[in-house]
Chain A
Amino acid sequence: MKIIAPIVAGFIFATNFSARAADTPTDPQIAHIAYTAGLVDIGYAEIALQRSKNKAVREFAMEMVKDHKAVNDKALALVKKLGVTPEDNATSQTIASQAATKRAELRRLSGPAFDRAYAENEVAYHSLVNAAVDTQLIPSASNGELKDLLKVGLKIFQGHQQHAEHMAERLSRKHAASKE
């Protein structure tokens, strides 16, 4: 049941990306979407650092803060260099709004239940964002440097997804063992 929420949210998120495929996002919109997606994951990580006592979960959350901040700093430096102002758009707004709902859900949990929900959400969130970066943002980006940064960002986020999958699997096994 707990896995359904991220899937439903993901469907809306993915649908929103697809719906906008017809009107291809511009570079300022792409920069805004990528930056917002990074901020959202930093927000989830900050909740994990407040609520989790699990060493692996805390280390993962610290990695998310560091990596997404590093990518966002690169993105900010690039838009400054290019003289581009990131432009708010419907996709960024959908991401931010769904994240607010998810943050409220996570804040209601604690202990191992929180750890599992955080890990599952990280898998689902990175999976959706990675698909969107790969199939929507990278092909739509017209500036070469922005495209290159998105490509490197995608590799980093794919690494996060694998890391989150391993963490979720270990937490799930531990939970199953505790019930036996």
Chain B
Amino acid sequence: MRSIALHAALWWLLLLAGATFAPAGEAASVVIADLEFKPSTVTVRVGDTVTWINRDFVEHTATSRNGVFDVATPKTRPAHWRAQKVGDFSYYCRLHPNMTGVIRVTR
């Protein structure tokens, strides 16, 4: 009986840990609203996918300043980019350059 309770407690701990620390390959989300990337900085690991969800009524892009990615973020569907190397990727919207953000990629 004690063993079952211990196992259940371990499962709960694993579930909680999974919710807090997403493993490599999981997604990090950036919401676009009122012409802002929210959050403006996200940290992911190599292999993770960043998803942008555009809630504005105009279209945007997520374009890195060093040319690594240029993702169209339409109003109709989420847009994705998979982080493939370590670094800080400063990005902006090509259509509205007053919108800026940073993707921080770690190992």
Chain A interface (Cβ < 8 Å from any Cβ of B): 63, 66-67, 70-71, 74, 152, 155-156, 158-160, 162-163, 166
- Minimal beta-carbon separation of A108 from chain B (angstroms): 29
Which of B11-19, B78-86, B94-102 makes up part of the contact surface? B94-102
- Given A67-B58, A70-B57, the answer on whether A155 and B97 have CB atoms closer than 8 Å is no
A152-B34, A155-B35, A156-B35 known; A162 vs B57 contact (CB < 8 Å) = no
| Interchain CB contact under 8 A, B98 and A155 | yes
Interface string of B37-63 (1 = CB under 8 A from A): 000000000000000000011110000
**Considering residues A63, A156, A158, which has the most beta carbons from chain B within 10 angstroms of its beta carbon?**
A156
The answer to whether B97 touches A156 (Cβ under 8 A) is no
B97 pairs with A166, CB closer than 8 A? yes
Q: Which residues of A contact B96 (CB under 8 A)?
A: 155-156, 158-160, 162-163
B93 part of interface (Cβ distance < 8 Å) = yes
Residues of chain A lying within 8 A (CB to CB) of residue B35:
152, 155-156, 159
| Residues of A close to B56: CB separation below 8 A | 152
Shortest Cβ gap from A68 to chain B (Å): 10
